[in-house]
Amino acid sequence: MSPEAIVFRRDVAADYSKAMDKEWIITNGLGGYASSTIIGANTRGYHGLLVASLPPSLRRLLLLSKLEEEIILDGKRHALSVNKYPNTIYPNGNKYLVEFRLNPSPSYIYQIDGVTLEKTIVMPFGRNTSIISYKLDAPRSVELQVRPLVNCRGFHSRTRENSGLAFSQYPIPGGVRLESNAEAQSLYLRSSCGEYEPSKTWYRNMVYDLEAERGLVDQEDHFSPGFFKATLKDRDFLSVVASADASGASNEAVLEAAEMNNSASPGGDHLRDWLIRSSDQFTVKLPDETSTIVAGYHWFGEWGRDAAIALPGLLLTTGRFEEAKAVIRRYLNNTRNGLAPVYFDEGSRPHYASIDTSLWFIYSTYKYFEYTSDLPFIREVYPKLREIVEWHRRGTDYSRIVEDFLLEAKSGEYSLTWMDARIDGTPATPRVGKCVEVNALWYNALRSVEELSRRLGEASEPYAELGLKVQSSFNDVFWYGGGGYLYDCVDDEGGDDSVRPNQIFSLSLPFPVLRRERWGSVFKNVERHLLTPYGLRSLSPRDPRYHGMCSGGTGGRDLAYHNGTVWAWLAGPFISAYVKLGWSPSSVMIRHILQAFDRHLSEAGLGNVSEIFDGDTPHHPRGCIAQAWSTGELLRVISEDLGGLKEVSTT
């Protein structure tokens, strides 16, 4: 059975202010997507009914922004669309919207004078194609006009009429092929019935409220080449197919593929089922058929650290072992001097400025082995794992081993850990010297390779010996006795006693580096200062550098990003640490966290978990509306630590 539907009715739909930030997204397995709000108003520049993902690697173009629909009844026009323009909302078709339903594709139900029209959007898996279907339930015939608003730009950009963008139109059966002078990319538009009429016009100054909130360019123009029109009778269907290629706009095959994209997930628990559904969105096939993980929607691409952290939950708990192997291969096969790529750009070029990504991939590879016992695959990647450790022992481009056997960053000039925000080229959260989670990962990597070496019959003693030295130094160097917790970083000037969540990894990873007698003290400190219903704050509210809201322009958001903002993915290591301490997974604390995330499924990116939340109550969701490691870590702990929710109810 599919996840239980997420439904909104007139009480929310009629109020633009309530509906503008309730967003949906569906994806095509290629990195492309369709996304808008529950009233069909595009409130981000990233919204669109067809954002295609094209070669060489996740090059995403907005091709179809939206459709403007009108129903003509007894000579009177009723516009169903909703758009925001400077100082006005027009048209306000949400007054006809009686229900929005995500089940799991988005559907809008409109009612006008006894006429009911249901609009549904689907994306066929593996195609840069969107299908928007209309079903009429009416006692009389009506005319439906559908006007596409098109674009042809990178999804980070914005278009203006005077920018020089122009389109050429070429008739095709059932519609039109559009070619822009901006990109070597066509857009095919077809309808299942009726006819297409060319009628060029520009829609100017469309306002994106959510971009305005982020201090970004918040207005755009869209071109409309013409419109489709058809007379529909009771129970008639009209489908508009938008595709980046001619074959993708064919009829029967596309509709079949669309149905496959609505495949069911296991039923039984609302939160888990929607997380499983959400997990499908992040694993994508690149043009060379390689699998990878998209870090988040709408704007993130391939980020290595995110992929390694998200992989156990997204792919291992859901049994997608072949895809897990493909992702691990992609990153390990692209290592350079012991470093796995921290990200790939749109040209599929790897970038390496990180000191922890490789260590996270040893973690995810070891987790793969825990789930599968697949020694042949471990034997295949083992040389890369050993190479990573050896390079870290000798020193990588960005880190070195010092006399206490701990890893330290060579320079504070770069943002080398997951707290990587920068303002005008300078780290917003400077972390220099030895970082606590990096060294917890270093110890975990040594113990993981030690265990895998033993399983393969390879020499494991060097890893065991170095691991013991790292563990001893770690507990001496990072322990802050005055506070009963761990320094966040240690350099020649001493320890940074900021209360941050990074110390939780000293006990949450498969091989905890922290002495057992200190687990409870560290955990309680994290809980007391950092815990919220949506994960852990990135800095204690008692710290003078704390920022409780991640809002406003880019500079303000970057400053707050790792200085108080809550990160949903950190709920994962927190729950793992809690369970390792022997405490009950059915406790009030765990139940409270799960209930909060269950409610959140209907608050921002519907059916998804956001990237971040404000540190201050009421912890407003921010950032990406669907984040891979947020979803992955919740799925991982539900499977590994909470018994698949069989014993932990969220109701």
Range of the domain at 70: 8-261
Residue 472, amino acid: S
The two tokens of residue 103 are 């089940």
**309 and 173 within one domain:** no
Q: How buried is 181 (Cβ within 10 angstroms: 0-12 exposed, 13-18 middle, 19+ buried)?
A: exposed
Domain boundary among 261, 282, 311: 261
- CATH number reported for the structural domain that contains residue 219 in this entry: 2.70.98
Domain end point (choices 213, 244, 261)? 261
Give pLDDT, residue 256. Answer: 56
Q: How many helices (H) and strands (E) does the chain have?
A: 17, 40
Q: Are residues 135 and 253 in the same domain?
A: yes
270-297 in b/e burial notation, b at 16+ Cβ within 10 A?
bbbbbbbbbbbbbbbbbeeeebbbbbbb
Looking at the fold, whether 247 and 274 belong to one and the same domain comes out as no
Two structure tokens written together for 68: 């403007």
Task: Report if residue 29 sits inside a domain.
Answer: yes
CA–CA distance, 441 with 455 (Å, rounded to integer): 21
pLDDT at 164: 85
Whether residues 313 and 254 fall in one domain: no
Phi-psi region of 146 (alpha: psi -120 to 50; beta: other; left: phi over 0): beta
Which pair of structure tokens corresponds to residue 368? 């793969």
**Closest Cα to residue 43, out of 23, 69, 14, 64?**
23
Mean pLDDT, the chain cut into blocks of 10 residues (651 residues total): 86 95 98 98 98 94 98 96 97 97 96 97 97 96 97 95 90 96 92 95 97 95 97 95 84 53 57 96 93 97 98 98 98 98 94 98 99 98 98 96 95 88 90 97 99 98 98 98 98 96 99 98 98 98 96 93 98 98 91 97 98 98 98 98 63 40
Q: Show Cβ contacts of residue 223 under 8 Å, excluding neighbours closer than 6 positions.
A: 149, 150, 151, 161, 165, 167, 200, 201, 202, 203
- Mark out the alpha helices in 478-548 (DSSP H runs): 505-508, 519-530
Show the tokens assigned to 591.
């139940």
Q: What is the pLDDT of residues 162-197, one digit of tens each?
A: 888 899 999 999 999 999 998 889 999 999 999 999
CATH of the domain at 551: 1.50.10.10
Give the pLDDT of residue 268.
Answer: 59
Task: Please state whether beta strands 489-491 and 283-285 pair in parallel, antiparallel, or not at all (unpaired).
Answer: unpaired
Is residue 372 domain-shared with residue 246, that is, in the same domain? no
Q: Which residue has the tokens 């516009």?
A: 79
- Does residue 651 lie in a domain region? no
Identify whether residues 289 and 306 lie together within a single domain.
yes
- The model carries a pTM of 0.95
Token look-up 């990109």 returns 183
Residues 96 and 23 in one domain: yes
Do 279 and 310 lie in one domain? The reply is: yes
- Classify residue 259 as exposed, middle or buried by CB count within 10 Å of its CB (0-12, 13-18, 19+): exposed
Backbone angles phi, psi at 188, to 5 degrees: -105, 125
Q: Is residue 403 part of a domain?
A: yes
Same domain for 188 and 304:
no
Residue type, 508: S
Q: Of 122, 108, 402, 78, which Cα lies nearest the Cα of 255? A: 122
Question: What does the alpha-carbon distance between residue 131 and residue 342 come to, in Å, rounded to a whole number?
Answer: 35
At which of 243, 261, 279 does a domain end?
A: 261
CA distance 99 to 19: 12
Position 615, amino acid = G
Phi/psi at 395 (5° precision) = 115, 130
- Same domain, yes or no, for 167 and 307? no
Q: Are residues 404 and 525 in the same domain?
A: yes
- Token pair recorded at residue 62: 């907005």
**For the chain, what is the domain count?**
2
User: Which helix (H) or strand (E) covers residue 251, if one does?
Assistant: none
Place of tokens 């008739």: 171
Structure tokens at 610: 């956001």
Q: What is the pLDDT of residue 644?
A: 75
Q: Are residues 256 and 290 in the same domain?
A: no
Interval 504-555: pLDDT, tens: 999 999 999 999 999 999 999 999 999 999 999 999 999 999 999 999 999 9
**Residue showing tokens 């009914």:** 49
